[in-house]
Structure 1
Amino acid sequence: MAKFFYLLLILSLSVSCREATVPKPKAYLRLDYPKAEYVPSNINVPFTFEVNTLATKVALKPIESNTSSYGVNLEYPTLKGTIFLTYKAIENDRKNLITFLRDAQNFTQKHNIKADGILETVYESPENNTFGMFYEVEGNAASQAQFYVTDSTRHFLTGSLYFYAKPNYDSILPAAHYLQKDIKHIMETVRWR
């Protein structure tokens, strides 16, 4: 019996000297994007803006065989996303301005089906004659951001952010925030020609 007691004592001392096993905390992916550097856009359209050097530009295309409408795609290959810009000239009457505004707002609202929410931010820059709206789309929607800017008389520019992946809000959120800052910078630096 004494041998059993000593064996039990030695066994308990050897087990008690070990550190307690603690589960490792969950790891999160850390994504570091380079600090944005902006340069003037060199595109032959009726407006200018500053573009992030991380973006590559796709060829400028007239829309609908109309020389007063253009599409510009700013591709971000490292982020697997694209900002699609569409420019339309406002004709002599302001009737088509109302149509453009309605279309831009309806296009954003179509994302309500999948979105958890849409945050609207009014943009005004009277000194640059630029007014508009920025929409941040939350949730698993196809587009994570939309915007439009106009001078209310001659120029109308819309933009949308899309990723080359199935929408998974948690996965694309860091890239979406990075590109939303670029969209806001585009809005702030638009100058009409």
Structure 2
Amino acid sequence: MYKIILLFVATILISCREDNIPKQKAYLSLEYPSQNYQDLDVDRPYVFEIDENTSVKALPKNWLKIVYPGLKASVDITYRPVNNNLKELFMEAEKLVFEHTVKADNIIWRDFSNTNHKVYGKLCQIEGNAASQVQFHATDSAKHFIKGALFFYAKPNYDSIFPAVEYIKKDMVKMMESLKWR
């Protein structure tokens, strides 16, 4: 019996040499290129600054697709002239945001106004696994109406794409801040 107790005590002493310490949480380390802006170099009734790391595809009807090739994403810009239909244009733009409420966890609106360049609008961030995480619309209330929407070329998983959304959202804010009508 003495040998069994001695063996048991020796096993406990030998097996408990180190304290078990939980591992630290790992953080995803993503590196994005620095954001340097230049004027949009496409003939449109509007101009704004875009990140020089993007490519621009000109589309009919004064529309654009600003492509982020490294992130597999794009900001789709649509333009509509205002012809006594401003209320309809606002309703259409906000309807497109509210279509995401099924998948959205939260929708955050931010008003924007630049009276010097007659630019008035809203930026909307959609949190959750929606198809578009950031959208904006802007107008001069008389002639021009523009809408931008961020899309990724993959099934949305908000937790995974959140850093890329924040990176592109800075560019979309810059687009609104630098928007001028021609």
Structure 1 length normalisation: TM-score? 0.86
Deviation per CA, 1:82-113, whole angstroms, max 9, x where unpaired? Answer: 0000111223xx2x222111111111111111
Match of 2:95 in 1: 106
| 2:19 matches 1:20 | yes
| 2:144 matches 1:155 | yes
Q: 1:32 to 1:10 in 2, by over 3 A?
A: same
SS of the aligned residue for 1:143 comes to coil
> Larger relative contact order (C-alpha < 8 A, sep ≥ 6)?
2
Q: Note the aligned Cα RMSD (angstroms).
A: 1.8
Alignment of 1:54-65 (within 5 A): 54-58=53-57, 60-62=58-60
Match of 2:80 in 1: 88
Unpaired runs of 5+ residues, structure 1, are 63-68
Shift of 1:42: 0.4
Shift of 1:29: 1.5
Deviation per CA, 1:7-43, whole angstroms, max 9, x where unpaired? Answer: 6665555444x21233323323121222211011100
Match of 2:113 in 1: 124
Unpaired runs of 5+ residues, structure 2, are none
Structure 2 length normalisation: TM-score? 0.91
Shift of 1:155: 0.8
SS of the aligned residue for 2:62 comes to strand
SS of the aligned residue for 2:116 comes to helix
Task: Kindly indicate whether the alpha-carbon contact (under 8 Å) linking 2:59 and 2:65 is maintained by their aligned counterparts in 1.
Answer: no
Q: Distance in 1 between matches of 2:82 and 2:54?
A: 28
The one-letter code matched in structure 2 to 1:126 is T
Match of 2:155 in 1: 166
SS of the aligned residue for 1:121 comes to strand
